[in-house]
A and B are shown apart, each in its own frame.
Chain A
Amino acid sequence: MGFCSCRRTQPVLAVIPEMTAHEVWESAHAGAAKAAYARTWRIYWNGPTREDDYVRQIQIVQQEIERGVAGLILSPDHAVALISPVHAALAQGIPTVIIGSPLGIEPGGKLSYVLNDDAAAGRMAAERAKRYLHRGDTVAVIGTNPDFLGSIDRAVSFEAALRREYPEIEIYEPRGGSFLSAESDGRAELAIRLHPRLRVVFTQNIEQTELIHAVLERTHKANRIKLIACDQDLGLMRMLRRGEIDAVLAERTYEMGARAVEIIARLREGAVPETKVLLPPALITRENIDSPAMQQVLDMNWRVQ
């Protein structure tokens, strides 16, 4: 699917994820590739090597605008910094679909959103957490990051859903934690020690989930504290299968990729597609991970022939 192997006569869609080589985005690659293949379109797939490297993501977006792609599918690494590059794409007449987490601008015209239903994700996580909570317990919400507006929606929804049933519950939510902050590890360990009644940790990205998982293993709290994670990843799924993670809220990124291609097709045809589509996440547990429905969500076969 390399760009240079593309024939000029075929439209090329640039699909730029938050980062590559994570299953959550490889599934988007697979969905987009399959939908594009059906239309004999080509996919250019590349992204940053980190979820917070929005500078590199902007470079790739600008590069693809200059190449004159037929459409842009973007999962932004920053809700604000990517606004100008997207405007630049729209100014060039490039149909653009934002997948995953929204930008800080309203959709419309040639800009559409196919997003994870983060409010639903928060509610589903809360429902799962309720299984383990008792009066006086503490819940931690990790990874709320203003760069990803969806994480705020998830956290707000999660807390609201919990408080409806447990108004007195303590919710610990450290703000400003980046994906890769060097001191996150120490802060997480400190938080676990400072909250002896911590029962559930809700982590909102893969890096923070791995970090909390490591801290729980190290402090031998894995059996007592349940970890509910967001975003699918092969490593996390393995932890889920071993019982070290209670549940993973998987984004339906395969469907996001496919729907995004369909929307671009409609925009290119001059039709007016939906400007905003919300896809509810899938709650994956040890019990259902091998079901065909869940494995479909985890499909990452981008080599459609």
Chain B
Amino acid sequence: MKSGAGFRLAASIAVVPLAALLAGIPAFLLYRNLNPEPTLNFSASGSGASSNWNAYGGNWEISNGEVRNDSDEWGAKLMTGSYRWKDYSMTATIKPTRPMGDMGVVVRANSEEEGIDAYSGYYVGLRFLDGALTIGRADFGWMEARPVAMPGGVQPDVWYRLKVVAFGCSIAASAENLATHQMAWIAFEEQPCVNSGRVGLRSLFTGGSWRNIRVAPAGEAEYREIRDRATALEAPEFPRREADFNNTIQFHTAEDATLISRFARPPSTGQVSRIGNLQEIPRDEEKHAVVVGRVILTWPQLYLQDSSGGILVRAGQDPRLDVGDVVQADGLARAGLYKPSMKADHIAVVGSGALMPALAITSTQAASGAYDARFVEVEGVLLGSADSNGLQTLEIFDGAQTFSAILASRLKDRPLRLEMRSHLRLRGVCVLDRSFTKGQTPFALLLRSGDDVLVLSGPPWWTPWHLVLLIVFALAVVLMVQVAYFRLQQWKARVLTEERDRLAHDIHDTMAQSFAGVGYQIEGISTSIKRRLDDSIVQDQLRVAYQLVSRCHREASETISMLGAPAPGIQHDLLNRLRETACHLTGDGIQVTASSAGAPFPLNLRLACALQQIGKEAIANAVNHAKMSALSITLDYQDRSVELRIEDNGVGFHFMPRSVGFGILGMQKRARDVGGILSISSEPGQGTRVSVLVRSIPADLRSRLRAWIRTGLPIFRIR
């Protein structure tokens, strides 16, 4: 028993996690199916390349396998891949656009955020400042290895092939100037290290392009191939103090040193005009002017802005500028309706490094023209989206004005996917040109990239589709309630019918039998009187009849009591009640014994009542039919069950289950009602044995819970 109970206990304890596991496996498989893990064989050069990039700052474009950052923002990152990628190589050809800052690739990146060093991982790049291949550890801070000089330095507008191998806690990298084929190698180790993470592209203080980006599994052989060419194995330990930097960074020449200043290029001669003042040029006149402004948009038109306003600049050829560059433009300027424009003869970069902060305005202010050609920020609700000729046009409404937001980039691989009626915050250059507004809206915003769109909140829940869903759901709930109500009514009717059956059985088992006995006694009395028998005999018969009437009365009271509050104490005193019943029915001529086995415990009231009725029926049958001399009543308390046995030594009978009478059917039903098993065994001359075995149901919920934990039996009985 103990081992069986232990097994059931263990099984019941295991059921919950097993069920959770079984439910979790399909959920996990579904999740994996919906969110497939990128494989560690990644190429961004082909048409079918992965484009699941995440931008952290910068102004990124992806076109024909080339990724370009058109901003000088410090530490702009574009990330992709899996956080579970461990040992791999990453190759890319890169081209910086400015003689400043650095650019390269990120490996084993985790916890990326917007910020210069806001990630945990490793960066390998080419730095203009010291013309070096550099590698270091970023962990929301930066600590690098001693850089390795790149032969010929690092030049703008030159393609370099960068290869990085991350194996274990070792990282090795090589860089090759694809014009001169000069190379540099560096090897690096950190203990402990970041042993897995995503890949990314990163630039600092310069824009640039990345091509042929590939990631593939790598082993020690690939690492060794580069490591053996590096002069030393470096570690992230530099610079701790300013003197470290001064001792380590080596400029090639004094001339190079002057180039590090982002303001070193001399601007052209001529008086610099404030952009806003160019609106004072007489209409239909052009005037030579020099302006200095920050680049706020490069594509599809070039816009500059200073503190007085913005200007549209048309250059003869692509000046390859980055957003954030400070440039000096000379050329013929003319005033426009709201903004000046310039046909530039010469554009020179005179500074760089940061983006212009957007001016937050309302759509009505934007429509006034006062902010034409300025970098602004406007909020609104998305009403529509359309693509044509490489332009993605969003229709926006902010409660006062409807306007267009045009994503005029070459982001063919990364179109904006926004939900209609989302509340957006958009940053871009405000223009009133009809070429963009098409005469349909008062103004348009020219967005620099998808990152200029911030979703403040999704669409409201009460869209027509959601309302339809809600109505369907409500109808379904009403239907379910109705079905439940009808089921309840049916169940109630069935319970009433069953209760009537039970009452019929009760009345048959008790009062009907007693009334039959009373009738029999009255008939006997009548016969005795007719035969003029002795008065003492008649008196005896009257006494028996009186006792039967009293019994009828008592049984009627008990039945009434059963219908109302249960008889008190029956849970604890079932055996004595049955013994009293037997003694009363049998009189003095029959030996009645009552005994219990096992450790008694309080029985559930319903169970005790059922056992009492079954016992009384069995006793009554024995008294009426068995012609016995002894009757035994046994109540056997077992571990998880109770068995009641009524045995007599009477004449017995041939028990045929298919032809039982009303009384036995009643006993069977009572046993079935409490989940018990009724057994009757009898043979002629062998006496009769009636037993009913029921599972014990503890009296209170806590005991039932304890029993469930111990045995695994259900807390609530199931019919």
The residues of A with any CB-CB pair to B shorter than 8 Å are 1-5, 19-21, 23, 26, 29, 44-50, 52-53, 55-56, 178-183, 185-186, 210-211, 213-215, 217-218, 232, 234-235, 237-238, 241-242, 289-290, 295, 298-303
Contact = CB atoms under 8 A, between A and B. Distances in A.
B264 A217 contact: yes
Contacts of B74: 21, 49-50
Interface in B203-241: 236, 239-241
Given A299-B240, A302-B141, A4 B258 contact: no
Interface stretch (B35-43, B346-354, B380-388): B346-354
Nearest to B260: A235
B116 A49 contact: yes
Contacts of A23: 242
Contacts of B243: 290, 295, 298
Contacts of A235: 260
Chain B CB count within 10 A is highest, among A20, A49, A185, A215, for A49
B579 interface: no
Given A21-B116, A26-B141, A186 B241 contact: no
Contacts of A19: 116
Chain B CB count within 10 A is highest, among A48, A179, A180, for A180
B242 A5 contact: no
A286 B110 CA distance: 41
B292 A241 contact: no
Contact of A303 (B110, B143, B355): B143
Dominant secondary structure at the B interface: loop
Given A2-B140, A20-B116, A52-B357, A185 B240 contact: no
7 contacts: A1-B139, A1-B140, A1-B141, A50-B354, A185-B326, A210-B261, A210-B262
A5 B142 contact: no
A26 to B, nearest CB: 7
B435 interface: no
Chain A CB count within 10 A is highest, among B113, B139, B140, B351, for B140
Nearest to A6: B111
A45 B242 CA distance: 20
Contacts of A56: 114
A185 B117 contact: no
Contact of B307 (A4, A26, A182): A182
A238 B248 CA distance: 12
Interface in B109-160: 110-111, 113-120, 139-143
Contact of A182 (B113, B142, B305): B305
Contacts of A215: 263
B698 interface: no
B75 interface: yes
B245 interface: yes
A130 to B, nearest CB: 27
A234 B244 CA distance: 10
A234 B115 contact: no
A49 B354 contact: yes
A211 B113 contact: no
A232 B242 contact: yes
A180 B239 contact: no
B246 to A, nearest CB: 6
A217 B257 CA distance: 12
Chain B CB count within 10 A is highest, among A2, A215, A234, for A2
B242 A234 contact: yes
Given A21-B75, A21-B117, A49-B75, A183 B141 contact: no
Contact of B111 (A4, A186, A241): A4
Interface of B: 57, 73-75, 110-111, 113-120, 139-143, 236, 239-243, 245-246, 249, 257-258, 260-264, 266-267, 272, 274, 292-294, 304-307, 326, 350-351, 353-357
Contacts of A52: 357
Given A185-B292, A303-B236, A180 B353 contact: yes
B111 A214 contact: no
A301 B144 CA distance: 11
Contact of A301 (B118, B240, B326): B240
Nearest to A250: B242
A104 B7 CA distance: 71
A46 B113 contact: yes
Contacts of A29: 141
B265 to A, nearest CB: 9
A214 B263 CA distance: 6
Given A1-B139, A213-B261, A46 B115 contact: yes
Nearest to A21: B116
Contacts of B75: 21, 49
A289 B272 CA distance: 39
A49 B245 contact: no
Nearest to A52: B357
A235 B116 CA distance: 17
Given A2-B139, A44-B140, A52-B357, A295 B242 contact: yes
Contacts of A241: 246
Nearest to A176: B307
A113 to B, nearest CB: 24
A303 B141 contact: yes
Contact of B263 (A4, A46, A50, A210): A210
A234 B306 contact: no
Chain B CB count within 10 A is highest, among A44, A238, A290, for A238
Contact of B294 (A5, A53, A180): A180
Contacts of A20: 115-118, 141
A217 B261 contact: yes
Nearest to B325: A182
B141 A180 contact: no
A3 B140 contact: yes
Nearest to A232: B242
B136 to A, nearest CB: 11
B140 A46 contact: yes
Contacts of B113: 46
A49 B258 contact: no
Nearest to A237: B242
Contacts of A21: 74-75, 116-117, 142
A234 B249 CA distance: 11
Contacts of A183: 272, 274, 292-293, 306-307
Contacts of B267: 185-186
Nearest to B258: A217
B115 A47 contact: yes
B231 to A, nearest CB: 24
Contacts of B305: 182
A253 to B, nearest CB: 13
A110 B444 CA distance: 47
A218 B241 contact: no
A298 B241 CA distance: 6
Nearest 3 Cβ contacts at the A-B interface:
A214-B263, A301-B240, A2-B120
A55 B358 CA distance: 10
Given A182-B326, A218-B264, A300-B239, 5 more contacts: A5-B110, A5-B120, A46-B113, A50-B355, A217-B261
Contacts of A186: 267, 272, 292
Given A20-B116, A213-B261, A3 B241 contact: no
A303 B117 CA distance: 14
A262 B357 CA distance: 35
B73 to A, nearest CB: 6
B641 to A, nearest CB: 50
B111 A182 contact: no
Contact of B357 (A53, A232, A234, A301): A53
B246 A237 contact: yes
